[in-house]
Structure 1
């Protein structure tokens, strides 16, 4: 695994984007936190057992390209590429942050999740007790 040291992450620039390349992002520095989400929406949006995100302050991320937006909850917005359908990022209108899918980064092994959300929907074959777990949303 290619996990970087904290001092490298503080100044690092990490880029990524959608599968077809029409949408790109650039995240500067270290994410505020990194988490896995087992909620039913993340499972369905990603077509996987969970979604994993690096959460950055909004000011630390620049983006280019056109996106479509889906209002997934009262304050949740999920943005995706209208060409290939890839999940581009997620945001909540009540928070000044951007949730970037770990799988959308150009490099692998950058981030390891710090916690898991909505574990009440976690697949039973996934390991438990690896990191802090929350039955629903984590306290903010």
Structure 2
């Protein structure tokens, strides 16, 4: 894996967006953390075995383009492109953060998740023990 050094990440600009290009984002600096989520909502929204996110402070992310929003939980909002349906980002009203899907970045191999959430829903064929694991949500 080609993971950049911490000092390079601190000043780097990482761009990405939806599949059709109608929505774009620019994240500056190093994310606060990166994770894999196995919750049923992430699985269904991504149409995959899990969602993977780089979590940035809201002020470190600029966005452009129109989005539709779905309130996926009491404090969770998922934003997606109304043209192609791609997941654009996720946010919680209780945190000043933006969860950007790792697969939406233009670059690959930049962010490596350090923990996994909702492992009770993890597919049994996925490897275990590669990073910190939580049966449900991560303690804050």
User: TM (normalized to structure 1)?
Assistant: 0.99
Provide Cα deviations, 1:35-87, integer angstroms capped at 9, x if missing partner.
00000000000000000000000000000000000000000000000000000
- 1:117 aligns to what? 117
Residue 84 (structure 2) pairs with residue 84 (structure 1) = yes
TM-score, L = length of structure 2: 0.99
Q: How many aligned residue pairs are there? A: 140
Cα distance in 2, alignment partners of residues 3 and 131 from structure 1: 16
Q: What are structure 1's unaligned runs of at least 5 residues?
A: none
Match of residue 133 from structure 1: 133
Structure 2 Cα separation of the partners of residues 20 and 131 of structure 1: 33
Query: Take 2:88 and 2:29, find their aligned partners in 1: how far apart are those partners?
Result: 19
Q: SS of the counterpart of 1:78? A: strand
- Structure 1 residue ranges (4+ consecutive) displaced by more than 6 angstroms after TM superposition: none
Q: CA RMSD in A?
A: 0.4
* Paired residues for 1:1-140 under 5 Å: 1-140=1-140
SS of 1:55's equivalent in the other structure is strand
SS of 2:9's equivalent in the other structure is helix
Question: SS state of the match for residue 43, structure 1?
Answer: helix
